[in-house]
Amino acid sequence: MKKILIISGGISKERMISLDTGLQVAKELRRNSFNVKISEPSNNLENTIKKYKPDVIFNALHGQFGEDGYIQTILETFKIPYTHSGVIPSAIAMDKEISKKLFLKYNINTPKFFTYSFDKKNSKLIKAINSKLKFPVVVKPLNEGSSVNVFICNRKNIIKIINSLKNYKKVMVEEFIGGREIQVAILGNRKLGAIELKPKRKFYDYQAKYNTNAKTQHIIKIDLPKKKLNEVLKTALKAHKIIGCKGVTRSDFKYLNGKFYLLEINTQPGMTKLSLVPEIAAHHGMSFIELIEWILKNASTKR
């Protein structure tokens, strides 16, 4: 019987989602006769690993310190296979500025953007938006996931919202693309599939993702020409390879006027009841346990 250590929780703003992912994965593995232990990264992780001696570590952490290369650096010292992407790809994918620059370098369409440091005057921000973009704009932290602290801003609320994000020291200001929300799942070198989301809210934000009352509509049979669907699948795989990702990733796109815009790539997509990758996998004949087992088999000591 394989021994699986699941690391979940953590200290990021996505802690609760991570705990849910860990519980869902553990429940499914135990149901299929795996020996499973769940641990917080702060709960004397080194001692836990040495005592439990897992065959594989399932990294169920989300957000900062969990999918930005930090925990991956620690895990590599144990020489035990761990899931998802390694140190450098995780760090690149988590940093929205670096990843978007790579997208542009390799001719992947992404919304126009610039970064804003809080040592500048707000008047410079307005001037930069007027010259480089136009209102409305999207303001977001450079290294958060799950749409944490992402806002659509207009002229009236931009300063108030920017001031509320001062703790980040630097944020991204991005062109707002209306369009349709398309998400693509990649498994290794396999284009698993795509799903379209129709949120009742302004966009697919944190509440739309994780609040069951948000009533976001999931459309698994996307109304797109086959050529266009293949295009977005190929683009997601291209981004996955460019960054050097391993295992499973989910790429977030907007589709407007015949063009796809890649917003970001997620190296550790959620595995909760509302998560998209398990839903895409199920539609293409891959059960939840088959998905988890694939991720575990794909684990390695150096990513």
76 is catalytic: no
- Among the listed residues 12, 205, 270, 275, the single catalytic one is 270
Contacts of 208 (CB under 8 A, 6+ apart): 147, 197, 199, 200, 201, 214, 216
- Among the listed residues 99, 143, 146, 251, the single catalytic one is 146
Q: How far apart are CA 200 and CA 140, in angstroms?
A: 20
46 is catalytic: no
- Among the listed residues 70, 116, 206, 210, the single catalytic one is 210
- Among the listed residues 174, 252, 261, 275, the single catalytic one is 252
- Among the listed residues 9, 10, 14, 22, the single catalytic one is 14
Sequence letter at residue 167: N
68 is catalytic: no
250 is catalytic: yes
85 is catalytic: no
69 is catalytic: no
210 is catalytic: yes
Q: Of 73, 123, 69, 72, nearest to 94 (Cα)?
A: 69
Sequence letter at residue 146: S
266 is catalytic: yes
- Among the listed residues 204, 250, 255, 261, the single catalytic one is 250
- Among the listed residues 12, 251, 266, 275, the single catalytic one is 266
Q: What positions carry a catalytic annotation?
A: 14, 146, 210, 250, 252, 264, 266, 270
